[in-house]
C-alpha cells in the first residue's frame, strides 16, 4: 500500500473504477505493482463459501461497488433519519450496520487491504440480523443474496419495503423499490384473459431476479422467460368486465429490465419427497445477451436495441450434491478485463472459455449501455 499520507478514493472510469490517493487536494493514481485491485480471496470462517461467493459477485458489480466504495450510502442512511423513518434510538443505531460492513469489505478488496477480521465482522453482523445464517451450517447462496439485497434496501431507502413472499420460486425476492442509484428490479406483467369475454386484466410486479427452469431440449428460449398457466377451479377469478367467476388464462411476461440483471438457474428440483440437483450444462452468452425477444411488445416504446443487450460479469457456482455442496464465483475484473475464479481464499485467472460450467447457479449481467451514475 502507498505510504503517502492522504485519503484513498475509489474513482469511476471508462473501464470501471480505480483507486486514487487524495494528497493536498490532488488525486494521484495508486500503484499496486503486479496486483490488480479487486482481485483478492476471502477466508472461509466455517461453511461461509456461500457468503464469500455472493460477496465476490457483488464486489464486481460496478454500480453497487461504487455506491458502497464511495460511501454514497451514508447520505441515504442520514436522509432516512432526517425523514423520521427511524422511530427509536435503538433502531437508529442499528440502521445501516449490514450495509456499512459490506461496504468496508468491498472497499478493502478494491484497495487490497482485506484482512480475515473484516469478513469475521461481516459474518457477525449478518448473524445479528438474520438468525437463519447463524452458526456454521451451509446455506443457499441465492437465499443469502436476496436477503442481502433486501437488507441494503431497508438500510438506505426511505420508503418501507414490501414483505417478501415465502415462495421463492414465485417471488424470488419481490420488493417495491431498491437503491436509487442501482437498478436491479425486473418488472413482470401478469395478464389474465377471461375465457368468456376475452378481455384482459393486467398487473405489474417487481422481482430482484428471474428464476429459470433448466431448459429441456424441446424448450424454446422464449418460453423460458414467459409463463402461461390455466387457473385451477379453486383459483377462479372474477372478471372485472363480465363480472363472472372464470378460470382465466394467466400469462407472465417481461415488462421492464434493470441495469443489473440477475438470472437464477433452478438446479434443485423436488421429485416426490426428495430434492435432486440438476447438473445439466446450460450454455449462456458471456457477451451480447439479447433480451428484446422476451419483452412485451409495446408500439410506443422509445427504447433502442442497445437497451436490451447485456454482458455477463459474474457467476455464482454450486459444486457437489444436495448435502455436501460448495460455492465458488467467476468474476470479470473491470480494471484489467480478466476473468478470475474465487474459491474462498484462492484466486486464479480463468479463461473465458471455462466460465460456462455445469455448476453455474446465479448469473449476473450488466446492461451494455448502463454507465456509473455516481459522480465525484
Query: Rounded to whole angstroms, how far apart are CA atoms 353 and 333?
Result: 16
Its sign, for the CA torsion 364, 179, 334, 331, is negative
Containing 214, the helix (H) or strand (E) segment is none
Q: Which three cell numbers stand for residue 97?
A: 450496520
Strand, coil or helix: 57:
helix
Q: Which three cell numbers stand for residue 329?
A: 464465483
Work out the burial of residue 35: count CB atoms within 10 Å of its CB; fewer than 13 is exposed, 13-18 middle, 19 or more buried.
Answer: exposed
Strand, coil or helix: 110:
helix
Phi, psi at residue 294, to the nearest 5°?
-100, 0
- Among 172, 326, 331, 356, the active-site one is 326
Query: Rounded to whole angstroms, how far apart are CA atoms 349 and 109?
Result: 16
Answer yes or no: are the C-beta atoms of 340 and 56 closer than 8 Å. Answer: no
Query: Rounded to whole angstroms, how far apart are CA atoms 165 and 30?
Result: 45
- Among 49, 57, 172, 356, the active-site one is 49
Q: Does residue 326 have an active-site annotation?
A: yes
Query: Rounded to whole angstroms, how far apart are CA atoms 1 and 3?
Result: 7
Catalytic residues: 49, 326
Amino acid at each position: 500500500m502507498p505510504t503517502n499520507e492522504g485519503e484513498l478514493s475509489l474513482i469511476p472510469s471508462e473501464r470501471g473504477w480505480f483507486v486514487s490517493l487524495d494528497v493536498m487536494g490532488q488525486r494521484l493514481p495508486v500503484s499496486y505493482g503486479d496486483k490488480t485491485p479487486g482481485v483478492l480471496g476471502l477466508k472461509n470462517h466455517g461453511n461461509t463459501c456461500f457468503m464469500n461467493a455472493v460477496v465476490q459477485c457483488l464486489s464486481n458489480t460496478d454500480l453497487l461497488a461504487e455506491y458502497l466504495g464511495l460511501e454514497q450510502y451514508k447520505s441515504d442512511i442520514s436522509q432516512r433519519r432526517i425523514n423520521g423513518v427511524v422511530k427509536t434510538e435503538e433502531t437508529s443505531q442499528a440502521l445501516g450496520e449490514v450495509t456499512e460492513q459490506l461496504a468496508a469489505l468491498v472497499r478493502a478488496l478494491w484497495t487490497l487491504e482485506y484482512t480475515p477480521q473484516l469478513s469475521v465482522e461481516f459474518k457477525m453482523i449478518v448473524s445479528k440480523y438474520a438468525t437463519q445464517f447463524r452458526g456454521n451450517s451451509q446455506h443457499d447462496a441465492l437465499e443469502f443474496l436476496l436477503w442481502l439485497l433486501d437488507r441494503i434496501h431497508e438500510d438506505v431507502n426511505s420508503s418501507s419495503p414490501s414483505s417478501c413472499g415465502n415462495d421463492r420460486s414465485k417471488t424470488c425476492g419481490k420488493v417495491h423499490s431498491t437503491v436509487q442509484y442501482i437498478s436491479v428490479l425486473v418488472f413482470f406483467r401478469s395478464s389474465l384473459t377471461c375465457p368468456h369475454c376475452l378481455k384482459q386484466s393486467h398487473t405489474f410486479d417487481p422481482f430482484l431476479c428471474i428464476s429459470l427452469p433448466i431448459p429441456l431440449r424441446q424448450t424454446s428460449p422464449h418460453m423460458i422467460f414467459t409463463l402461461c398457466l390455466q387457473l385451477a377451479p379453486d383459483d377462479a377469478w372474477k372478471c372485472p368486465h363480465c363480472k363472472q367467476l372464470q378460470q382465466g388464462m394467466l400469462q407472465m411476461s417481461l415488462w421492464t429490465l434493470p441495469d443489473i440483471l440477475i438470472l437464477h438457474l433452478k438446479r434443485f428440483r423436488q421429485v416426490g419427497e426428495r430434492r435432486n440437483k440438476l447438473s445439466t450444462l446450460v450454455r449462456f452468452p458471456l457477451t451480447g445477451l439479447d433480451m428484446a425477444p422476451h419483452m412485451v411488445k409495446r408500439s410506443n416504446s422509445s427504447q433502442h436495441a442497445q437497451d436490451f443487450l447485456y454482458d455477463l460479469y459474474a457467476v455464482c457456482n454450486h459444486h457437489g450434491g444436495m448435502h455436501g455442496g460448495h460455492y465458488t464465483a467467476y468474476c470479470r475484473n473491470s480494471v484489467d478485463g480478466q476473468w478470475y475464479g474465487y474459491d474462498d481464499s484462492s484466486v486464479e485467472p480463468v479463461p473465458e472459455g471455462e466460465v460456462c460450467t455445469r455448476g453455474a447457479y446465479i448469473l449476473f449481467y450488466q446492461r451494455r449501455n448502463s454507465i456509473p451514475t455516481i459522480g465525484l
